[in-house]
Amino acid sequence: MSDESGPISEDELLYRRIPASSGWYAPATGLRPETFAPHRTADETGLSVYRARFKSIEEAERGRAGKSYYVAVLRAGDLRSHGIRIEPSPIFGDPGHAELPDLNPAVRKQDATINAALTLEGLVRLVEGSYATEDGDPVVRA
């Protein structure tokens, strides 16, 4: 088993990228649970996060050219202690990609998913950014 497919330890930090244009985070008003609502196609197999072991926070902040992003920082053990599963899901060019498989579009309207998003909002340890992605920055998958 390759390292990136290996289990995620309790102490691992995870990054969730937040488009600044979404309004889901502002320093003055804080974070909103929509940050953790699954997208109908981008999160088809689970909500995407990045393992800090494989990516710096500056790399995690890079998204579409011309757009700005924040990054929310979570700890894997905090998620598990609240019953939220996290699994490695490495993809080409992004070995630290991981997913929260229980947060997917098939269940996005269910109480459990809405409550999980509220729980995750409360588990965020830090929000960094925002970082403007420039033309020519490496494109990183959502």
**Chain contacts with other proteins (rule: CB under 8 A):** 17, 19, 21-24, 29, 32, 34, 37-40, 42-43, 48, 63-64, 67, 69, 105, 108-109, 111, 114-115, 118-119, 121-122, 142
Q: How far is the CB of 15 from other proteins (least distance, A)?
A: 14
Backbone angles phi, psi at 97, to 5 degrees: -65, 135
Question: Closer CB to other proteins, residue 83 or residue 122?
Answer: 122
Backbone angles phi, psi at 120, to 5 degrees: -60, -40
The H or E element spanning position 58 is helix 57-60
Question: Closer CB to other proteins, residue 3 or residue 44?
Answer: 44
How far apart CA 43 and CA 35 sit, in angstroms, is 12
Q: How far is the CB of 75 from other proteins (least distance, A)?
A: 17
Question: Closer CB to other proteins, residue 17 or residue 51?
Answer: 17
How far apart CA 77 and CA 59 sit, in angstroms, is 23
CB-CB neighbours of 98 under 10 Å = 24
Q: How far is the CB of 87 from other proteins (least distance, A)?
A: 19
Question: Closer CB to other proteins, residue 90 or residue 119?
Answer: 119
